[in-house]
Amino acid sequence: MTIYGYARVSARDQNLARQLSAFAEYGIPQKNIFADKKSGKNFLRTQYQHLLKHLKGGDLLVIASLDRLGRNYEQILNEWKQITREIGADILVLDMPLLDTRIRSGTLVGKFVADLVLQVLSFLAENERMNIRARQAEGTRLAKARGVRFGRPQRTYSAQFLAVMQAYRQKRISLCDALGQLRLKKSAFYKHLGRLREPR
């Protein structure tokens, strides 16, 4: 049996130290630890995919907490089934000892408890993700109601710029004169001209 550790943080500036320390305490060799700095929204992560290629029946995969495996309810369950049933490896979640599939070797009750806890925790992880989205949407709605504008700030034009554009539109100056006064290339000139024609 080989013991592997899998660690994950969502962003490159976040630290893996806490998870790696937990693996060291458990006695997992450094060469058997795989770590990603990527969102948990799916399992298309380089190191995680490398890990799956190494895992064999009878091996043990250790993770510090369930959300380090992933954050999507359905996907966590699918990965859990792939590892424990298709590959035949075991999983241990360090901060939730009930989530230890090695218990199943002794009794069906142990397997039932591990699967039940996984279902509940996976649901909570997905529920939290949906709550975060709902809070973000509500925050955006309230900000818009207060007049906060999102996206690029609207470009403001000087009085001279507007005067040249107006003169060109009224055919009082040529395109060549307008380009010279504004020091613009033709493509940029037409881009700004189009913006000025858009309703505000």
Do 172 and 113 share a structural domain? no
pLDDT tens, N- to C-terminus, the chain (200 residues)? 999 999 999 887 788 999 999 999 999 999 999 999 988 888 889 999 999 999 999 999 999 988 888 877 778 888 888 898 899 899 999 998 878 888 755 566 666 766 777 777 677 777 877 888 888 888 888 888 888 777 666 667 888 888 998 899 898 999 999 999 988 899 988 888 888 775 54
Number of domains in the chain: 2
Tokens of 25: 């305490």
* Res 96: pLDDT: 85
* Res 16: pLDDT: 92
Span 102-148, pLDDT tens digits: 875 556 666 676 677 777 767 777 787 788 888 888 888 888 888 87
Do 87 and 13 share a structural domain? yes
The answer to the question of residue 78 being in a domain is yes
What CATH number is given to the structural domain containing 120? 3.40.50.1390
Do 176 and 124 share a structural domain? no
* Res 104: pLDDT: 58
The answer to the question of residue 83 being in a domain is yes
Catalytic residue among 10, 21, 158, 174: 10
* Res 84: pLDDT: 86
* Res 52: pLDDT: 96
* Res 111: pLDDT: 67
Do 118 and 39 share a structural domain? yes
Distances (CA, A) of 124 to 3, 24, 63, 118, 174: 28, 28, 18, 10, 66
Output the pTM of the full model: 0.60
The answer to the question of residue 66 being in a domain is yes
Residue-range definition of the domain harbouring residue 189: 159-197
Based on the residue annotation, tell me whether 21 is a catalytic residue of this protein. Answer: no
Do 45 and 96 share a structural domain? yes
Do 83 and 7 share a structural domain? yes
Can you state the percent helix, strand and coil of the chain, rounding each to 5?
Answer: 60, 10, 30
